[in-house]
A and B are shown apart, each in its own frame.
Chain A
């Protein structure tokens, strides 16, 4: 029995080897019957999907001093990946921007440049901190290194059926949101796109306002906060923008969208909806909305104050901070809504750089995880190209040539590799 299992392992390895071999010769597929040639009495069946989707090993890749881990998310400009600062050993996130993609987005490059300029000047507990900006001219890529955040509010909301937070948790985030916003406004910056998907959370429940891509900085000498343009998300826009007013007061725009955010995270609903943007803007323009009955008096009055149709009567940040609901201390009565586990079931969202480090140090590549979706698509034809291209960049650590001694262990490496750092000590 034991021997059989070992044999099976061997066979599977063999097929992998063949598979790799074929790749190098530019052949596209392996036939399921390759194994038959071994002439052994049992046939190990290898599913085609296993073969096709196992081409690349995890490669430890560097961006400057940052060691790259898994993809955290994808924005309109490109991917966001987790990285590890190899000097300080601090977890970071890197936004990878492809210049080609950026050029296709109206004002894309301009917005990114402006966002970087803005972020450089900002330092506050509740604003995402810019750490580093790197360029790769050859690849036409730009890397924006930022503080690591474990999740965004939107993702957490989406993970629960009622799509809202318990009151105390909503309060905890709201207070921090207001702190961050007050700081931004103090710097003369109007965010213009406050919404749950632009609010990140760190592992210690600190809220970070992110995405200043459409933010506007007031001239230091302009007497008021008059703005003319807005590119924020429709559902979070105030009546003055929905009605297409020429000019409006910027700070009050942020107050409105923060009010919509508060409404959303406490009720799971939106104050204004519409089948399309025209209907939506029509509804916002009318300014009529209802607050569900389960919302208490104090919170209702705060939301009403923040969603006042008249910008001039709408609460200021100062008034929000004075409001009873803001000042209230809410006991932790119910279970916290946590960020959802990763697709592999990791509830803690532990550092995804670890498996890459293991592979780099042990020369024991696992074949059970892919680097990213790209590889699935560009599987065979691009493989050779990619290698040469990347080698030129001096960014990657060439994967050590697999030692034949190690090959037998390959199979042991399973999907639960995470956190098994001690594997490195064997040999």
Chain B
């Protein structure tokens, strides 16, 4: 009994025990007596690893225990095995897996982060984690681990460029609200945490990403629509994404979409749409198709904006921007050569 026994088990023994127990758990069927026993063993092992982790953290000898534990886990490829079998592990055990995983991930020796390196060499771990969103039982646990992974550029890069990344466009819309929002925050982290990385990704995959993004903006689900719109505004207004912004605001379809969203029923969506719409109008080099749409709707837009959210008198910035837009639209002139 590692928890109460006198002699402490070495990381090596613990990992071996855990691996055997998980393998027994994965083989059997539900209801099997052997499986029940294995499940119990797995949870016990996880609990004692977690306890030792906490203990060593307090004693400041953390690095040594963690380093050994990590080493054993990597060579047994236990991180992958644990995640593959996460659904079979019981409730407490799953929590412990998250704890152990995230702790190992944060472990740093000098400038090296060994767990990050390990995952880079075993990308299946990330793929498995992303797929975790498809299983209600473990979705939130996987989310917690994924967001910890998002903090590392190397891991974010793998996730962004994995085919599975595009599954997020479905995950953020699933009917279970907490899973959808969890998936959205992971999705957002991937697109915003590492500015250069995501800017490059968005540039290189512009069509694919924004085609998919359109489904979010047109979603039936109010929360998805609103969150997606807000994130779009953030992405476009971040200077790192300058190229993407320029491209986005050159497309008349995008302008039409925003103009429609300005008239949505929900005031919050109207407001978020305003912050994307303003970029189209403020652009000093509007391409002809954009110019034409704005010119065609000049009177209507001025009228609409004048009456738009007039009760936000407190929000100076919004009012300044609105006044600026109205002025810009009023002063719009058709290009000389038309």
Contact = CB atoms under 8 A, between A and B. Distances in A.
B238 A186 contact: yes
A302 B238 CA distance: 26
B237 interface: yes
Contact of A221 (B108, B111, B240, B284): B284
Contact of A327 (B111, B240, B283, B285): B111
Interface in A72-125: 117, 120-121
Interface string A180-220: 00100111100000000000000000000000000000101
A329 B237 CA distance: 33
A221 B236 CA distance: 11
A187 B240 CA distance: 9
A328 B111 contact: yes
Contacts of A188: 239
A288 interface: no
A187 to B, nearest CB: 7
Interface in B108-152: 108-111
A220 B279 contact: yes
Interface string B277-294: 001001111000000000
A221 B285 contact: yes
A185 B239 contact: yes
A318 interface: yes
B317 A324 contact: no
A112 to B, nearest CB: 14
Contacts of A327: 111
A186 to B, nearest CB: 5
Contact of A186 (B110, B240, B316, B317): B240
B224 to A, nearest CB: 23
B50 interface: no
Contacts of B111: 324, 327-329
Contacts of B242: 223
Contact of B317 (A120, A221, A328): A120
B244 to A, nearest CB: 13
B238 A328 contact: no
B9 interface: no
B108 A329 contact: yes
Given A121-B317, A318-B196, A186 B283 contact: no
Nearest to B284: A221
B239 A186 contact: yes
Describe B's contact surface by its main secondary structure: helix
B71 interface: no
B16 interface: no
A117 B317 contact: yes
A120 B316 CA distance: 10
Given A221-B284, A328-B110, A329-B110, A187 B317 contact: no
A220 B195 contact: no
A221 B195 CA distance: 18
A129 B79 CA distance: 40
A140 B239 CA distance: 38
A143 B195 CA distance: 35
Contacts of A318: 195-196
A186 B195 contact: yes
Contacts of B195: 182, 186, 318
Nearest to B106: A329
A4 B245 CA distance: 82
A187 B245 CA distance: 13
A272 B178 CA distance: 55
Contacts of B317: 117, 120-121
A221 B283 contact: yes
A218 to B, nearest CB: 7
Interface string A316-350: 00100000100111000000000000000000000
Nearest to B279: A220
B12 to A, nearest CB: 25
Interface string B96-115: 00000000000011110000
A109 to B, nearest CB: 15
Interface string B230-241: 000000011110
A185 B199 CA distance: 14
A44 B196 CA distance: 75
A183 to B, nearest CB: 9
Given A120-B317, A220-B279, A221-B284, A187 B238 contact: yes
Interface string B297-327: 0000000000000000000110000000000
A140 B237 CA distance: 36
Q: Taking each of B239, B240, B279, which has the highest tally of chain A beta carbons within 10 Å of its own beta carbon?
A: B239
Contacts of A221: 282-285
A324 B237 CA distance: 30
A318 B242 CA distance: 16
B279 to A, nearest CB: 7
Contacts of A182: 195
Contacts of A223: 242
Contacts of B237: 187, 220
Nearest to B249: A221
Contacts of B108: 329
A182 B199 CA distance: 14
A220 B241 CA distance: 11
Which 3 pairs of residues, A with B, have the shortest CB-CB distance?
A329-B108, A186-B238, A188-B239
19 contacts: A120-B316, A120-B317, A121-B317, A186-B195, A186-B238, A186-B239, A187-B237, A187-B239, A218-B239, A220-B239, A220-B245, A220-B279, A220-B282, A221-B284, A223-B242, A318-B195, A327-B111, A328-B110, A328-B111
Given A186-B195, A318-B195, 15 more contacts: A117-B317, A121-B317, A185-B239, A186-B238, A187-B237, A187-B238, A187-B239, A188-B239, A220-B237, A220-B282, A221-B283, A221-B284, A318-B196, A329-B108, A329-B110
Interface of B: 108-111, 195-196, 237-240, 242, 245, 279, 282-285, 316-317
